[in-house]
Structure 1
Amino acid sequence: MNLVGGGAYLLADTLTLARTGPVLLEGFDVVLVDQNHAREAVARLDALGLTAVGSVFTHHDEWGFFLPQESGHPAWPAPARYVGAGATLTLPPAPNADAATAWIRWSHGPIYTAPLLLHAVLADIATRHRPEAVPAAPPPRVRLLEPPTMPSPKIAFFDLDATLTDHATSFHRWAGEFATRYGITLKDVDDAEVRCAGRRDRFFANLKAQYDIKTSLVGLHAQYRQRTAELVPHRPQVCTAIRSLRKEGWRLGVITNGDPAAQRLKLRSARLADLFEAVVISGEYGIRKPDADLFRIALDALDTSSAVMVGDDLDADVRGGSQAGLRTVWVSGGRERPPTGPMPDHTVPTVLDAVDLLREHTDAPLPAAA
Structure 2
Amino acid sequence: MIHAVIFDFDGTLLDRDSSVHSFINQQYERLKPHLSHILKETYVHRFIELDNHGYVWKDKVYQQLIEEFSIKLSSEEMLEDYLQEFKNHCVPFENLHSMLHNLKKQGLKLGMITNGYGQFQLDNIRALGIENNFDVILISEWEGIKKPNAEIFDRALSKLKVSANDSLYIGDHPFNFFQRVLTPAERS
* 1:191 paired residue among 28, 35, 46: 46
1:232 is aligned to 2:90: yes
Distance (whole Å) between structure 2 residues aligned to residue 169 and residue 225 of structure 1:
17
Corresponding residue pairs, total: 171
1:176 is aligned to 2:25: yes
Distance (whole Å) between structure 1 residues aligned to residue 125 and residue 51 of structure 2:
27
TM normalised by structure 1 equals: 0.43
Q: 1:320-370 CA distances to partner (integer Å, 9 max, x unpaired)?
A: 2x2365xxxxxxxxxxxxxxxxxxxxxxxxxxxxxxxxxxxxxxxxxxxxx
Q: CA deviation at 1:216?
A: 2.8
Name the counterpart of 2:66: 208
Name the counterpart of 2:185: none
Q: CA deviation at 1:212?
A: 2.5
Contact 1:164 1:238 survives alignment (8 Å): yes
Two-structure CA RMSD over aligned residues (Å): 2.0
1:164 is aligned to 2:13: yes
Q: 1:286-306 CA distances to partner (integer Å, 9 max, x unpaired)?
A: 211111111111111112222
Contact 2:115 2:140 survives alignment (8 Å): yes
Distance (whole Å) between structure 2 residues aligned to residue 215 and residue 283 of structure 1:
28
Name the counterpart of 2:186: none
Structure 2's unaligned 5+ residue stretches are 183-188
TM normalised by structure 2 equals: 0.81
For 1:216, the aligned partner's letter is: S
What pairs up with 1:80-95 in 2 under 5 angstroms? none
For 1:162, the aligned partner's letter is: G
Q: CA deviation at 1:277?
A: 0.5
* 1:323 paired residue among 148, 157, 180: 180
Distance 1:236 1:268, change over 3 A: farther
Identity of aligned residues (%): 25
Higher Cα Rg, which structure: 1
Distance 1:286 1:222, change over 3 A: farther
Q: CA deviation at 1:227?
A: 1.8
Q: 1:73-130 CA distances to partner (integer Å, 9 max, x unpaired)?
A: xxxxxxxxxxxxxxxxxxxxxxxxxxxxxxxxxxxxxxxxxxxxxxxxxxxxxxxxxx
For 2:75, the aligned partner's letter is: L
Contact 1:157 1:253 survives alignment (8 Å): yes
SS in 1 for 2:146: coil
Distance 1:324 1:297, change over 3 A: farther
Contact 1:193 1:203 survives alignment (8 Å): no
Higher relative contact order (CA 8 A, sep 6+): 2
Distance (whole Å) between structure 1 residues aligned to residue 86 and residue 74 of structure 2:
18
1:246 is aligned to 2:104: yes
Contact 1:167 1:232 survives alignment (8 Å): yes
Contact 2:65 2:71 survives alignment (8 Å): yes
Q: CA deviation at 1:194?
A: 2.1
Contact 1:175 1:186 survives alignment (8 Å): no
Distance 1:244 1:205, change over 3 A: same
Q: CA deviation at 1:178?
A: 1.9
Contact 2:6 2:111 survives alignment (8 Å): yes
Distance (whole Å) between structure 2 residues aligned to residue 289 and residue 234 of structure 1:
22
Structure 1's unaligned 5+ residue stretches are 1-151, 326-370
Q: CA deviation at 1:236?
A: 6.0
Bigger strand share:
1
Name the counterpart of 2:130: 272
Distance 1:324 1:228, change over 3 A: farther
Name the counterpart of 1:283: 141
Distance (whole Å) between structure 2 residues aligned to residue 197 and residue 276 of structure 1:
28
Distance (whole Å) between structure 1 residues aligned to residue 162 and residue 135 of structure 2:
13
Distance (whole Å) between structure 2 residues aligned to residue 192 and residue 297 of structure 1:
34
Contact 1:295 1:324 survives alignment (8 Å): no
Q: CA deviation at 1:234?
A: 4.6
